[in-house]
Amino acid sequence: METSNGMMEKIVSLCKRRGFVFQGSEIYGGFAGFWDYGPLGVALKQNIKNLWWRKFVESRDDMYGLDAAIVMNPKAWEASGHVAGFADPTPDGKSFNTMFKTSVGAGEEATVAYLRPETAGGIFVNFKNVVDSFHPKLPFGIGQIGKAFRNEIAPRDFVFRSREFEQMEVEYFVRPSQWEEKFEEWRKEMFSFIDAVGINKDAVHELEVEDTERAHYSKRTIDFEFDFPFGRKELYGLAYRTDFDLSAHAASSTKDLSYTEEGEEAFIPHVIEPSLGVERTFLAVLASAYTEDELGGEKRVYLKFKPAVAPVKAAIFPLLKNKPELVAKAQEVYQALKKEIPQIVFDDNGNIGKRYRRQDEIGTPFCITIDFDTLGENPELKDTVTLRDRDTGEQKRLTVKEVLELLTSSIKGV
């Protein structure tokens, strides 16, 4: 995983030191391809997923959310072609199915089943349920965030290629005549998400996947590649999967998965699939945010997270730790803000400079200091605080109400 500028090593070490990502089962020596997310990592992941869910499910009238089971009837994976074909070549030239096998039930009754290798399968098998209960008109989509498992032969590059990971997927159902227009819309939407989450757009490159490289059912696929510190690699995929999946599940389940509107002949909808990985987003966000600079004559490392994804939105400090009246006022401001914005922290450890550096390193966009003027030493400044901007180090004086307004509007994201 060595990179020319040591960037990856720095990110991995920061992630461990500051509690973003740990090796899975670390005290047992780890377990290749599995990672545990610490307090800041889970917050960052959660913020990424919330942004996706808000943007692609909640804020749209044509989208339906879903949370399907990880273990599905194995017939679904036979129909989708995964049992026969979800294989990677091993170094000695044999092919190896990367679906994780498990068994369900006891003794002779036990059935072989699989941990899902993608969330999409759960969406296709629920197509009819959503149509029957909501009667949506085409085009419409179903979105899902959830774990997926692949027994990758060579897990590598930190969380980039994991054996347990999470996907954020949409299956967007369209009329066959609409696919090009909708494909284009989703392409733009993916870029808009890339921007909202704070991934450096200049490092994202679209790769038109050649006919010979594409999955047999796909008529068009674009890979969104990102310049990771270890090279240009797939971040997301956007595919036009035709009616392959619904037709295959209709044939295999013998259920009618067609769609019709009044006066029209029934047909199987076609599908556009924007597929996004949570861990690859996480890593691209970190790589985009990692910055080294000099502030006030001192070198520093900071994460330039967009406020919407930052695990900590603001840190509240009393100027001095040993002045009870400052600590009490800082606690009061902290409690009032925390009620509105839960992802904030209180810190009175060490001097202000050290606290700033600690917060910069985890990407906290704002630091708020309570000083003697807040208490009324200068009556004109009573109940105002200083707000320091992470990127510029600039400070301004604001009332607590103004701070709350600024925090609320800046963390919105979409």
Minimum CB separation of residue 118 from ligand ATP in Å reads 6
Answer yes or no whether residue 329 interacts with ligand ATP by CB under 6 A.
Answer: no
What string of DSSP letters covers 130-165? HHHHH-PPSSEEEEEEEEEE---SS-BTTTTB-SEE
Number of residues counted as binding ligand ATP (CB under 6 A): 15
Query: Residue 352 is encoded by which pair of tokens?
Result: 């202000």
Query: Residue 318 is encoded by which pair of tokens?
Result: 């009393």
Minimum CB separation of residue 236 from ligand ATP in Å reads 5
Site for ligand ATP in 220-259 (CB under 6 A): 234, 236-237
Site for ligand ATP in 103-122 (CB under 6 A): 118
Minimum CB separation of residue 359 from ligand ATP in Å reads 29
For ligand ATP, give the closer residue by CB, 162 or 242.
162
Minimum CB separation of residue 154 from ligand ATP in Å reads 10
For ligand ATP, give the closer residue by CB, 118 or 171.
118
Minimum CB separation of residue 150 from ligand ATP in Å reads 5
* Nearest residue to ligand ATP on Cβ basis: 277
Minimum CB separation of residue 25 from ligand ATP in Å reads 18
For ligand ATP, give the closer residue by CB, 280 or 355.
280
Site for ligand ATP in 162-221 (CB under 6 A): 162, 165, 167
For ligand ATP, give the closer residue by CB, 235 or 330.
235
For ligand ATP, give the closer residue by CB, 83 or 375.
83
Minimum CB separation of residue 338 from ligand ATP in Å reads 34
Minimum CB separation of residue 279 from ligand ATP in Å reads 5
Answer yes or no whether residue 144 interacts with ligand ATP by CB under 6 A.
Answer: no
Minimum CB separation of residue 237 from ligand ATP in Å reads 4
Site for ligand ATP in 265-284 (CB under 6 A): 275-277, 279-280
For ligand ATP, give the closer residue by CB, 34 or 372.
34
> What does residue 65 show for φ and ψ, rounded to 5 degrees?
-90, 160
Answer yes or no whether residue 161 interacts with ligand ATP by CB under 6 A.
Answer: yes
For ligand ATP, give the closer residue by CB, 250 or 276.
276
- What SS3 string covers the chain? CCCCCCHHHHHHHHHHHCCCEEECCHHHCCCCCCEEECHHHHHHHHHHHHHHHHHHHHCCCCEEEECCCCECCHHHHHHCCHHHHCEEECCCCCEEECCCEEEECCHHHCEEEEECCCCHHHHHHCHHHHHHHHCCCCCEEEEEEEEEECCCCCCECCCCECCEEEEEEEEEEECHHHHHHHHHHHHHHHHHHHHHHCCCHHHEEEEECCCCCCCCCCCEEEEEEEEECCEEEEEEEEEECCCHHHHHHHHHHCCCCCECCCCCCCECCEEEEEEEEHHHHHHHHHHHHEEEEEECCEEEEEECCCCCCCCCCEEEEECCCCCHHHHHHHHHHHHHHHHHCCCEEECCCCCHHHHHHHHHHCCCCEEEEECHHHHCCCHHHCCEEEEEECCCCCEEEEEHHHHHHHHHHHCCCC
Comparing C-alpha atoms, which of 59, 62, 55, 43 is closest to residue 190? 55
For ligand ATP, give the closer residue by CB, 236 or 302.
236
For ligand ATP, give the closer residue by CB, 128 or 241.
241
For ligand ATP, give the closer residue by CB, 121 or 311.
121
> What does residue 388 show for φ and ψ, rounded to 5 degrees?
-105, 135
Contacts with ligand ATP by CB under 6 A lie at 118, 150, 152, 161-162, 165, 167, 234, 236-237, 275-277, 279-280
